[in-house]
Amino acid sequence: MSSKKRTGFGSYPLRYLALGLLMKGPGHGYQLDQTLSDKFGMIWKAGQTKLYVTLSDLEKQGLLRTKLERQKNRPDRKVYHLTKQGQETFLDWVGKPVPSLRAARVELLAKLRFYDWLVLPNAAELIHAQQETFLKMITEWEKEKAGEKDPFLGLVYDFRINQAQFIMDWLETYQKKIVKTSGKH
């Protein structure tokens, strides 16, 4: 395997998840944390502290703004509002395929969940672009595997190729069952 290849390791961009949660409308931190747990719990885990830090960072970047909401007999709470720039940033992210198999397990599933939950158009375009991305990976891995001398690494290539093919097949099933039948996307 080439040393310049991506390994697929990295952190998932919680910032986009936070922006997406605000696409439904303004919300306070606890409410957003509950929505994250309810709608994305099986896909994406993020602690409440990380979410609050992310929201603060997004405010500093101008991707959301806050208003203090007065509460009777309780401290004021911050209510987060998505800015136009925040909305554009989210929509740009959600429409792009993920670059690795590892990202498909979390980030791609989160994107598809957003398409479903927010009733966003063009899910079929994301699916097609993702399948094209994985097809390119498979083609590259098959070429590299052909020149691989180490039998174990040959099996690793098989593993990756089969994972990518499985995801492509799953996307086809998703598209048939969810996207086309619901008419939402």
- Residues 6+ positions from 144 with CB-CB distance below 8 Å: 1, 2, 157
Which residue in this structure is represented by tokens 């390119």? 136
Enter the tokens of residue 182.
Answer: 């619901």
- Residues 6+ positions from 61 with CB-CB distance below 8 Å: none
Quick one: how far is CA 87 from the chain centroid?
Answer: 15
Q: How far is CA 136 from CA 37, 41, 99, 132, in A?
A: 34, 31, 11, 6
CA distance 78 to 30: 10
Cα torsion for 43, 49, 53, 59, to the nearest 10°? 80
For 142, other C-beta atoms within 10 Å of its C-beta total 12
Please report, in tens digits, the pLDDT of each residue of the chain (185 residues total).
444 444 443 467 899 999 999 999 999 999 999 999 999 999 988 889 999 999 999 999 999 999 998 889 988 899 999 999 999 999 999 999 999 999 999 999 999 999 999 999 999 999 999 999 999 999 999 999 999 999 999 999 999 999 999 999 999 999 988 766 555 55
Enter the tokens of residue 166.
Answer: 């499985």
Beta strands 74-82 and 27-28, pairing class: antiparallel
Amino acid at 26: P
The closest alpha carbon to 125, from 95, 88, 99, belongs to 95
Beta bridge partners of 11: none
CA distance 182 to 185: 8
